[in-house]
Amino acid sequence: MKIRICFGFRNSNFGFHNRADFTIGENRGTAYIMAKIISFDMDGTLVNPEFTEWVWLHGIPRLYARKRGISFDEARALVVEEYRKVGEGAIEWYDIKYWFKVFELDETWEALMEHYAGKISAYQDAGHILGRLKEKYPLVLSSNAGREFIDVEMDVTGLGRYFDRIFSATSDFGVVKKTVRFYQQVCEALKAEPEEIVHVGDHYEFDYLVPRSLGIHAFYLDRSGKQSEDSFLSDLRDLEKRLLPIADGRLRIPD
Ligand SMILES: [Mg+2]
């Protein structure tokens, strides 16, 4: 029996045209993945996370030290203590505008980001894989980072041009982690079922276990290469061949 896979979207409002529509091999009665959209995490997956560390742990303390007339080390200890009080479970933790207000910093957050823009770099395999996949799939970015960080990182690396949609957990959905609810909202926005989405990211829980629990076909990126499983990647370039059995229907959805 022949089944058909359609690489496109049911909802034309989404703005894509169907990319391909072809018959695949025998359906042996198992459930098959139909990948329609590829989703990527940003920091640690496509972009080196060094930039965000410079902004939070060097840039803001440096401005605070200048404002208060204290040493950098003293300012950093105070700033980190304030971060800790808010905690990463609070939406404010991720909001750079909030921290500029709290510390009453004289510079703008845009100027601070620009100051450290030289620290932004994409991983070598990122542009390669996005360029290859863009030919076949709509691509989306699903990041935990605030919109301000996403915009500058996509702009400086030039990777923003590959994405049809960009989702920020904190800025767009008001959630601080990529929870099940986050991925559900991404699916709703894309008018796609979870099993039609492939997601790749470097956080074992939030990019791998959580999306898999929803039925998204997730790959865990471990650049150390120490672990090897079918759904683990050590280099993004390996993703393309891992997608082949998904695209042509040979890969069975894991139980
Ligand atoms: Mg990450």
Among candidate residues 61, 154, 144, 148, the one with its CA nearest the CA of residue 107: 61
Q: Please tell me the distance between residue 127's alpha carbon and the centre of ligand 1 in angstroms.
A: 16
CA distance 50 to 44: 9
Give me 108's structure tokens: 């703008």
What is the enclosing helix (H) or strand (E) of 73? helix 72-86
User: How many residues can be counted in the chain?
Assistant: 255
* Residue 27 confidence (pLDDT): 38
For residues 90 and 198, the answer to whether their CB atoms sit within 8 Å is no
Q: Which residues surround ligand 1, an ion (CB under 5 A)?
A: 41, 43-44, 202
CATH 3.40.50.1000 domain residues, the chain: 2-48+123-247
Q: Please tell me the distance between residue 9's alpha carbon and the centre of ligand 1 in angstroms.
A: 27
Q: Please tell me the distance between residue 171's alpha carbon and the centre of ligand 1 in angstroms.
A: 16
DSSP letter for 97, please. Answer: H
Q: Please tell me the distance between residue 145's alpha carbon and the centre of ligand 1 in angstroms.
A: 9
| Local confidence band at 139 (pLDDT 50, 70, 90 cut-offs) | very high
Residue with tokens 């699903």: 142
Least confident range from 60-69, 85-94, 133-142, 196-205: namely: 85-94
Q: Please tell me the distance between residue 158's alpha carbon and the centre of ligand 1 in angstroms.
A: 18
pLDDT top residue among 210 and 19: 210
Taking residues 117-138, what's their average pLDDT?
95
* Residue 28 confidence (pLDDT): 36
Q: Please tell me the distance between residue 201's alpha carbon and the centre of ligand 1 in angstroms.
A: 6
Q: Please tell me the distance between residue 5's alpha carbon and the centre of ligand 1 in angstroms.
A: 31
143-166 per-position pLDDT tens digit: 999 999 999 999 999 999 999 999
Q: Please tell me the distance between residue 42's alpha carbon and the centre of ligand 1 in angstroms.
A: 6
DSSP per residue over 171-236, as a string? HHH--SS--HHHHHHHHHHHT--GGGEEEEES-IIIIIIHHHHHT-EEEEE-TT-----TTEESSG
The listed CATH number (3.30.930.10, 3.40.50.1000, 3.40.50.300, 3.40.47.10) that belongs to domain 2-48+123-247: 3.40.50.1000
Q: Please tell me the distance between residue 44's alpha carbon and the centre of ligand 1 in angstroms.
A: 4
* Residue 30 confidence (pLDDT): 38
Q: pTM here?
A: 0.80
Find residue 142's DSSP bridge partners.
167
* Residue 255 confidence (pLDDT): 38
Alpha carbons within 13 angstroms on the beta-carbon side of residue 96 total 23
